[in-house]
Amino acid sequence: MRIEQYPMPESKPLWEAMFRAIFGEPPVTECPPVFIVLDVEGEPVGFASGYSTSLAEFYIQRIGMVPGHHMHIKLWKMVAEYMKSQGCLYLTGNVRADNRRTLILALRNGWNIYGFRVSTGGEQFVQIIKEL
């Protein structure tokens, strides 16, 4: 099991395929500049994508596992370790307010709530942060 950052835009087809497999729909946003893949025995099974908002902070735009693979906590921990090795001090992200499972998972693994926002489409999100 390993985690690796893939270069963009060369990895866009892999990002789009994994996005569809995990979220069941095509991506509605452009491919983010950072794409990190969890690889198990040569098979990509999870990813995190996002961008640096400052020298010290990385914003996780999307994170997920391919159905049938239950390593969500491992993925979150490996992304945190990888970003820390890159000099990052904080991870931030948004969890849909109705996604209690993910929110509880994040809180149990050292994330904190620092805010709340409503998207232009009316979706509600809890903003989370983790110090590395």
Q: Can you give the residue ranges of every domain in the chain? A: 2-131
pLDDT tens profile 116-132:
999 999 999 999 999 99
Strand order in the sheet with 34-40: 2-6, 34-40, 43-52, 57-65, 90-96, 124-131, 112-118
pLDDT tens profile 92-107:
999 999 999 889 989 9
Q: Is the Cβ–Cβ distance between 20 and 26 less than 8 Å? A: yes
pLDDT at 107: 94
pLDDT at 20: 92
Residues ≥6 apart with Cβ < 8 Å to 108: none
* Assigned CATH for 2-131: 3.40.630.30
Residues above pLDDT 70, as percent of the chain: 100
pLDDT band, residue 87 (cuts 50/70/90): very high
Q: Report d(CA 20, CA 66) in Å as an integer.
A: 9
Entry pTM: 0.85
- Strand 112-118 and strand 90-96: the pairing is unpaired
